[in-house]
Protein backbone atom coordinates (compact mmCIF):
# COMPACT_ATOMS: atom_id res chain seq x y z
CA UNK A 1 0.00 0.00 0.00
CA UNK A 2 1.30 3.45 -0.86
CA UNK A 3 1.97 5.59 2.16
CA UNK A 4 1.52 9.35 1.87
CA UNK A 5 2.99 11.79 4.34
CA UNK A 6 2.21 15.48 4.53
CA UNK A 7 -0.13 17.13 2.09
CA UNK A 8 0.48 20.75 1.25
CA UNK A 9 -2.49 21.98 3.31
CA UNK A 10 -3.17 25.60 4.23
CA UNK A 11 -0.80 27.28 6.68
CA UNK A 12 -2.35 28.67 9.81
CA UNK A 13 -1.40 32.34 9.96
CA UNK A 14 0.26 33.81 13.00
CA UNK A 15 -2.43 36.49 13.12
CA UNK A 16 -5.22 33.90 13.10
CA UNK A 17 -3.58 31.87 15.84
CA UNK A 18 -2.93 34.93 17.98
CA UNK A 19 -6.58 35.84 17.59
CA UNK A 20 -7.63 32.35 18.62
CA UNK A 21 -5.42 32.40 21.69
CA UNK A 22 -6.16 36.02 22.55
CA UNK A 23 -2.43 36.61 22.77
CA UNK A 24 -0.26 39.65 22.19
CA UNK A 25 3.49 39.75 21.50
CA UNK A 26 5.73 41.00 24.29
CA UNK A 27 8.89 43.02 23.91
CA UNK A 28 10.72 40.38 25.91
CA UNK A 29 10.16 37.86 23.14
CA UNK A 30 7.35 35.84 24.68
CA UNK A 31 3.70 35.61 23.72
CA UNK A 32 1.32 36.16 26.60
CA UNK A 33 -2.40 35.54 26.86
CA UNK A 34 -4.26 38.78 27.51
CA UNK A 35 -5.91 39.30 30.86
CA UNK A 36 -9.65 38.88 31.12
CA UNK A 37 -12.45 36.56 32.20
CA UNK A 38 -10.82 33.59 30.42
CA UNK A 39 -8.58 33.03 33.43
CA UNK A 40 -10.44 34.93 36.13
CA UNK A 41 -11.24 31.71 38.02
CA UNK A 42 -7.83 30.08 37.50
CA UNK A 43 -5.51 29.66 40.49
CA UNK A 44 -3.27 32.69 40.91
CA UNK A 45 -0.10 30.65 40.35
CA UNK A 46 -1.31 29.72 36.86
CA UNK A 47 -2.25 33.18 35.69
CA UNK A 48 -0.03 35.54 33.70
CA UNK A 49 2.73 36.72 35.99
CA UNK A 50 2.10 33.86 38.42
CA UNK A 51 4.47 31.20 39.69
CA UNK A 52 4.17 28.94 36.63
CA UNK A 53 4.67 31.83 34.21
CA UNK A 54 7.78 32.95 36.11
CA UNK A 55 9.06 29.35 36.23
CA UNK A 56 8.85 28.96 32.44
CA UNK A 57 10.43 32.38 31.91
CA UNK A 58 13.33 31.39 34.16
CA UNK A 59 13.89 28.14 32.26
CA UNK A 60 13.87 30.04 28.97
CA UNK A 61 16.35 32.59 30.32
CA UNK A 62 18.64 29.73 31.35
CA UNK A 63 18.31 28.13 27.89
CA UNK A 64 16.66 25.15 29.55
CA UNK A 65 13.40 25.58 27.62
CA UNK A 66 12.63 26.58 24.06
CA UNK A 67 9.16 26.17 22.66
CA UNK A 68 5.53 27.06 23.26
CA UNK A 69 3.40 26.77 26.38
CA UNK A 70 -0.38 26.82 26.20
CA UNK A 71 -2.08 26.46 29.58
CA UNK A 72 -5.78 25.73 29.88
CA UNK A 73 -7.79 25.67 33.09
CA UNK A 74 -11.12 23.85 32.95
CA UNK A 75 -11.03 24.07 29.18
CA UNK A 76 -10.37 27.80 29.05
CA UNK A 77 -7.14 29.45 27.97
CA UNK A 78 -5.13 30.95 30.79
CA UNK A 79 -1.62 31.47 29.45
CA UNK A 80 0.16 31.30 26.10
CA UNK A 81 3.89 31.83 25.85
CA UNK A 82 6.54 31.15 23.23
CA UNK A 83 10.29 31.31 23.77
CA UNK A 84 13.40 30.58 21.76
CA UNK A 85 14.08 30.08 18.08
CA UNK A 86 12.35 27.69 15.72
CA UNK A 87 15.14 28.21 13.20
CA UNK A 88 18.29 29.98 14.33
CA UNK A 89 19.87 30.08 10.89
CA UNK A 90 16.84 31.90 9.43
CA UNK A 91 16.14 33.92 12.61
CA UNK A 92 12.62 32.50 13.00
CA UNK A 93 11.26 32.64 16.54
CA UNK A 94 8.93 30.08 18.06
CA UNK A 95 5.32 31.22 18.09
CA UNK A 96 1.84 29.87 18.80
CA UNK A 97 1.57 28.51 15.26
CA UNK A 98 4.98 26.78 15.29
CA UNK A 99 4.76 23.04 14.65
CA UNK A 100 6.99 20.80 16.74
CA UNK A 101 8.00 17.15 16.29
CA UNK A 102 5.96 15.26 18.88
CA UNK A 103 8.10 12.19 19.38
CA UNK A 104 6.13 9.45 21.12
CA UNK A 105 3.04 11.60 21.64
CA UNK A 106 2.26 10.25 18.16
CA UNK A 107 1.42 6.95 19.85
CA UNK A 108 -1.71 8.63 21.21
CA UNK A 109 -2.97 9.15 17.66
CA UNK A 110 -2.09 5.58 16.72
CA UNK A 111 -3.92 4.18 19.74
CA UNK A 112 -7.05 6.24 19.06
CA UNK A 113 -7.01 5.07 15.44
CA UNK A 114 -6.93 1.43 16.56
CA UNK A 115 -9.74 1.94 19.06
CA UNK A 116 -11.84 3.60 16.35
CA UNK A 117 -11.48 0.46 14.24
CA UNK A 118 -12.38 -1.70 17.23
CA UNK A 119 -15.48 0.41 17.77
CA UNK A 120 -16.42 -0.21 14.14
CA UNK A 121 -16.01 -3.96 14.61
CA UNK A 122 -13.09 -4.19 12.19
CA UNK A 123 -10.43 -5.01 14.79
CA UNK A 124 -10.57 -6.97 18.04
CA UNK A 125 -8.47 -6.17 21.08
CA UNK A 126 -8.01 -9.92 21.51
CA UNK A 127 -7.18 -10.52 17.85
CA UNK A 128 -3.68 -11.81 17.18
CA UNK A 129 -1.10 -9.96 15.14
CA UNK A 130 -1.23 -12.69 12.50
CA UNK A 131 -4.95 -12.09 12.02
CA UNK A 132 -4.19 -8.73 10.44
CA UNK A 133 -0.60 -8.82 9.19
CA UNK A 134 1.59 -11.41 7.50
CA UNK A 135 5.33 -11.96 7.55
CA UNK A 136 5.76 -12.47 11.31
CA UNK A 137 7.21 -15.67 12.82
CA UNK A 138 4.52 -18.07 14.10
CA UNK A 139 5.48 -17.56 17.75
CA UNK A 140 4.81 -13.84 17.30
CA UNK A 141 1.90 -13.90 14.86
CA UNK A 142 -0.09 -16.39 16.91
CA UNK A 143 0.51 -15.11 20.43
CA UNK A 144 0.80 -11.31 20.35
CA UNK A 145 -2.59 -9.58 20.51
CA UNK A 146 -3.70 -6.05 19.79
CA UNK A 147 -4.14 -5.59 23.55
CA UNK A 148 -0.50 -6.57 24.08
CA UNK A 149 0.64 -4.12 21.42
CA UNK A 150 -1.33 -1.24 22.90
CA UNK A 151 -0.18 -1.82 26.48
CA UNK A 152 3.53 -2.48 25.81
CA UNK A 153 3.17 -6.05 27.06
CA UNK A 154 3.83 -7.83 23.76
CA UNK A 155 7.50 -8.58 24.37
CA UNK A 156 8.39 -6.79 21.13
CA UNK A 157 11.26 -4.35 21.33
CA UNK A 158 12.47 -1.21 19.62
CA UNK A 159 13.25 -1.48 15.93
CA UNK A 160 15.56 1.53 16.22
CA UNK A 161 17.82 -0.54 18.47
CA UNK A 162 18.04 -3.41 15.98
CA UNK A 163 21.52 -4.17 14.59
CA UNK A 164 21.98 -2.44 11.26
CA UNK A 165 18.97 -0.13 11.57
CA UNK A 166 20.88 3.14 11.61
CA UNK A 167 23.08 1.95 8.78
CA UNK A 168 20.01 1.51 6.56
CA UNK A 169 17.73 4.32 7.74
CA UNK A 170 19.71 7.18 6.11
CA UNK A 171 19.35 5.46 2.73
CA UNK A 172 15.55 5.74 2.77
CA UNK A 173 14.59 8.65 0.53
CA UNK A 174 10.84 8.11 0.19
CA UNK A 175 7.86 7.42 2.44
CA UNK A 176 7.45 3.94 0.96
CA UNK A 177 11.12 3.07 1.54
CA UNK A 178 10.97 4.24 5.14
CA UNK A 179 7.73 2.35 5.85
CA UNK A 180 8.87 -0.89 4.25
CA UNK A 181 12.32 -0.63 5.80
CA UNK A 182 10.95 -0.17 9.32
CA UNK A 183 8.46 -3.00 8.89
CA UNK A 184 11.27 -5.33 7.84
CA UNK A 185 13.05 -4.69 11.14
CA UNK A 186 9.80 -5.03 13.12
CA UNK A 187 9.03 -8.40 11.49
CA UNK A 188 12.55 -9.61 12.14
CA UNK A 189 12.59 -8.78 15.84
CA UNK A 190 12.41 -11.47 18.52
CA UNK A 191 10.22 -11.39 21.63
CA UNK A 192 11.97 -10.46 24.87
CA UNK A 193 9.36 -12.33 26.93
CA UNK A 194 6.09 -14.22 26.32
CA UNK A 195 3.24 -11.82 25.49
CA UNK A 196 1.54 -10.63 28.66
CA UNK A 197 4.34 -11.84 30.94
CA UNK A 198 6.08 -8.48 31.30
CA UNK A 199 6.11 -4.83 30.35
CA UNK A 200 8.64 -3.13 28.08
CA UNK A 201 8.18 0.09 26.15
CA UNK A 202 7.96 -0.86 22.49
CA UNK A 203 8.27 1.27 19.38
CA UNK A 204 7.99 -1.90 17.30
CA UNK A 205 4.57 -2.63 18.78
CA UNK A 206 3.22 0.76 17.74
CA UNK A 207 4.66 0.45 14.26
CA UNK A 208 2.77 -2.85 14.00
CA UNK A 209 -0.40 -1.14 15.21
CA UNK A 210 -0.02 1.48 12.50
CA UNK A 211 0.36 -1.28 9.93
CA UNK A 212 -2.87 -2.83 11.23
CA UNK A 213 -4.63 0.51 10.82
CA UNK A 214 -3.44 0.73 7.21
CA UNK A 215 -4.30 -2.87 6.38
CA UNK A 216 -7.77 -2.86 7.90
CA UNK A 217 -8.82 0.61 6.78
CA UNK A 218 -7.51 0.30 3.24
CA UNK A 219 -5.84 3.70 3.64
CA UNK A 220 -2.28 4.60 4.38
CA UNK A 221 -1.66 5.06 8.09
CA UNK A 222 -0.84 8.72 7.49
CA UNK A 223 -4.02 9.39 5.54
CA UNK A 224 -6.13 7.56 8.10
CA UNK A 225 -4.83 9.68 10.98
CA UNK A 226 -5.16 12.81 8.91
CA UNK A 227 -8.78 12.04 7.96
CA UNK A 228 -10.10 10.46 11.16
CA UNK A 229 -8.18 12.25 13.91
CA UNK A 230 -6.58 15.49 12.75
CA UNK A 231 -9.49 16.67 10.61
CA UNK A 232 -12.41 15.96 12.97
CA UNK A 233 -10.44 17.42 15.88
CA UNK A 234 -9.77 20.63 13.93
CA UNK A 235 -6.00 20.12 14.00
CA UNK A 236 -5.23 22.18 10.90
CA UNK A 237 -1.56 22.69 11.77
CA UNK A 238 -0.78 18.99 12.35
CA UNK A 239 0.65 16.47 9.90
CA UNK A 240 3.41 13.98 9.13
CA UNK A 241 6.13 16.01 7.48
CA UNK A 242 9.09 14.53 5.61
CA UNK A 243 12.64 15.66 6.32
CA UNK A 244 12.73 17.85 3.17
CA UNK A 245 9.51 19.55 4.29
CA UNK A 246 10.90 19.92 7.79
CA UNK A 247 13.96 21.62 6.33
CA UNK A 248 12.04 24.07 4.11
CA UNK A 249 8.84 24.94 5.98
CA UNK A 250 9.20 28.07 8.13
CA UNK A 251 6.40 26.88 10.43
CA UNK A 252 8.31 23.82 11.69
CA UNK A 253 10.80 24.09 14.56
CA UNK A 254 14.21 22.55 13.94
CA UNK A 255 15.27 19.73 16.31
CA UNK A 256 18.12 21.34 18.21
CA UNK A 257 20.08 18.86 20.30
CA UNK A 258 22.32 19.53 23.30
CA UNK A 259 25.96 18.48 23.07
CA UNK A 260 28.51 17.73 25.77
CA UNK A 261 30.05 21.10 24.95
CA UNK A 262 26.70 22.68 25.97
CA UNK A 263 26.26 23.96 22.43
CA UNK A 264 23.02 23.12 20.61
CA UNK A 265 23.20 21.79 17.08
CA UNK A 266 20.55 21.20 14.46
CA UNK A 267 19.98 17.42 14.44
CA UNK A 268 17.62 17.36 11.46
CA UNK A 269 19.89 15.15 9.36
CA UNK A 270 19.81 12.47 12.07
CA UNK A 271 16.09 11.89 11.60
CA UNK A 272 14.37 9.24 9.49
CA UNK A 273 12.79 10.48 6.25
CA UNK A 274 9.31 10.57 7.79
CA UNK A 275 7.73 9.86 11.16
CA UNK A 276 5.99 6.60 11.99
CA UNK A 277 3.07 5.31 14.08
CA UNK A 278 5.58 5.15 16.94
CA UNK A 279 6.75 8.75 16.75
CA UNK A 280 7.40 12.11 15.13
CA UNK A 281 4.17 13.47 13.83
CA UNK A 282 4.02 17.27 14.06
CA UNK A 283 1.58 19.54 15.82
CA UNK A 284 1.12 22.95 17.41
CA UNK A 285 0.23 23.69 21.01
CA UNK A 286 -3.22 24.84 19.97
CA UNK A 287 -3.83 21.67 17.97
CA UNK A 288 -2.87 19.48 20.93
CA UNK A 289 -5.40 21.37 23.03
CA UNK A 290 -8.01 20.73 20.33
CA UNK A 291 -7.09 17.04 20.24
CA UNK A 292 -7.49 16.79 24.01
CA UNK A 293 -10.87 18.51 23.87
CA UNK A 294 -12.06 16.28 21.03
CA UNK A 295 -10.91 13.09 22.75
CA UNK A 296 -12.30 13.93 26.17
CA UNK A 297 -15.44 15.32 24.55
CA UNK A 298 -16.19 11.95 22.89
CA UNK A 299 -15.80 13.42 19.41
CA UNK A 300 -13.25 10.83 18.25
CA UNK A 301 -14.74 7.81 20.04
CA UNK A 302 -18.07 6.99 21.60
CA UNK A 303 -18.32 7.74 25.34
CA UNK A 304 -17.98 4.05 26.21
CA UNK A 305 -14.91 3.55 24.06
CA UNK A 306 -13.35 6.80 25.28
CA UNK A 307 -13.60 5.51 28.86
CA UNK A 308 -12.27 2.13 27.80
CA UNK A 309 -9.34 3.68 25.95
CA UNK A 310 -8.33 6.05 28.73
CA UNK A 311 -8.68 3.61 31.61
CA UNK A 312 -5.54 2.01 33.07
CA UNK A 313 -4.81 -1.53 31.95
CA UNK A 314 -1.60 -2.94 33.40
CA UNK A 315 -0.35 -2.31 36.95
CA UNK A 316 3.35 -1.49 36.84
CA UNK A 317 5.70 -1.53 39.79
CA UNK A 318 6.65 1.96 40.99
CA UNK A 319 10.19 3.09 40.23
CA UNK A 320 12.78 2.73 43.01
CA UNK A 321 13.24 5.81 45.19
CA UNK A 322 15.84 8.30 43.97
CA UNK A 323 17.88 10.52 46.18
CA UNK A 324 16.48 14.01 46.35
CA UNK A 325 13.17 13.04 44.72
CA UNK A 326 9.80 12.58 46.46
CA UNK A 327 8.60 9.05 46.94
CA UNK A 328 6.07 7.76 44.42
CA UNK A 329 2.52 7.21 45.53
CA UNK A 330 -0.69 6.19 43.72
CA UNK A 331 -1.77 9.82 43.74
CA UNK A 332 1.46 10.84 42.01
CA UNK A 333 1.41 9.25 38.54
CA UNK A 334 4.73 8.68 36.85
CA UNK A 335 5.77 7.58 33.42
CA UNK A 336 5.70 4.05 34.81
CA UNK A 337 2.08 4.40 35.82
CA UNK A 338 -0.35 1.82 34.43
CA UNK A 339 -0.41 1.68 30.67
CA UNK A 340 -3.50 2.36 28.64
CA UNK A 341 -3.72 2.55 24.86
CA UNK A 342 -4.05 6.29 24.88
CA UNK A 343 -2.01 6.80 28.01
CA UNK A 344 1.12 4.76 27.52
CA UNK A 345 4.65 5.83 26.83
CA UNK A 346 7.08 8.43 27.95
CA UNK A 347 5.04 11.30 26.55
CA UNK A 348 1.53 10.14 27.30
CA UNK A 349 -1.13 10.79 29.90
CA UNK A 350 -0.86 8.60 32.96
CA UNK A 351 -3.37 7.36 35.50
CA UNK A 352 -3.35 5.97 39.02
CA UNK A 353 -3.02 2.19 39.41
CA UNK A 354 -5.90 -0.19 39.93
CA UNK A 355 -5.97 -3.35 41.99
CA UNK A 356 -6.19 -5.66 38.99
CA UNK A 357 -5.82 -5.14 35.25
CA UNK A 358 -9.16 -4.87 33.44
CA UNK A 359 -9.47 -6.59 30.10
CA UNK A 360 -10.48 -5.11 26.81
CA UNK A 361 -14.02 -5.57 25.63
CA UNK A 362 -15.10 -5.22 22.05
CA UNK A 363 -18.62 -4.24 23.11
CA UNK A 364 -18.46 -1.99 26.18
CA UNK A 365 -21.72 -1.24 27.92
CA UNK A 366 -22.46 2.48 28.09
CA UNK A 367 -23.10 3.88 31.51
CA UNK A 368 -26.73 4.24 32.42
Residue 262: pLDDT band (50, 70, 90) is low
Residue with the bigger pLDDT between 355 and 132: it is 132
**pTM for the whole thing?**
0.79
Residue 55 · residue 61 · CB < 8 Å: no
Q: What is the pLDDT of residues 19-77, one digit of tens each?
A: 332 232 322 334 333 334 556 689 999 999 999 999 999 999 999 999 999 999 988 99
Evaluate if residue 281 carries a pLDDT over 70.
yes
C-alpha dihedral over 107, 108, 114, 115, to 10 degrees? 150
Strands 100-101 vs 282-283: parallel, antiparallel or unpaired: antiparallel
- Cα dist from 240 to 3, 53, 127, 287, whole Å: 11, 31, 28, 14
Query: Please, which residues have CB within 8 angstroms of residue 356's CB and are 6 or more apart in sequence?
Result: 315
Question: Poorest-confidence range of 118-127, 138-147, 326-335?
Answer: 326-335
Residue 140 · residue 146 · CB < 8 Å: no
Evaluate if residue 10 carries a pLDDT over 60.
no
Q: What is the pLDDT of residues 68-122, one digit of tens each?
A: 999 999 889 999 999 999 999 999 999 999 999 999 999 999 999 999 999 999 9
In this structure, the number of other CB atoms found within 10 A of the CB of residue 96 comes to: 24
Amino acid sequence: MTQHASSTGHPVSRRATLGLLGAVPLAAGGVLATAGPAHADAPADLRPGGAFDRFVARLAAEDAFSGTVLLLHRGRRVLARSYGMANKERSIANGPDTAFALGSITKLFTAVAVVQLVQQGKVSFHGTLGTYLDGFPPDVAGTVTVHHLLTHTSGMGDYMQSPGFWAQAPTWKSIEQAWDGIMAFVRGGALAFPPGAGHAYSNSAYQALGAIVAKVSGRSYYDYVREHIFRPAGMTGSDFFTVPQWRDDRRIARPYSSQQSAARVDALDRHIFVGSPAGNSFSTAGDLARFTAALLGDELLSPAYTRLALGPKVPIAPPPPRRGCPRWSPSRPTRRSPSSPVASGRSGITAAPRASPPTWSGTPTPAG
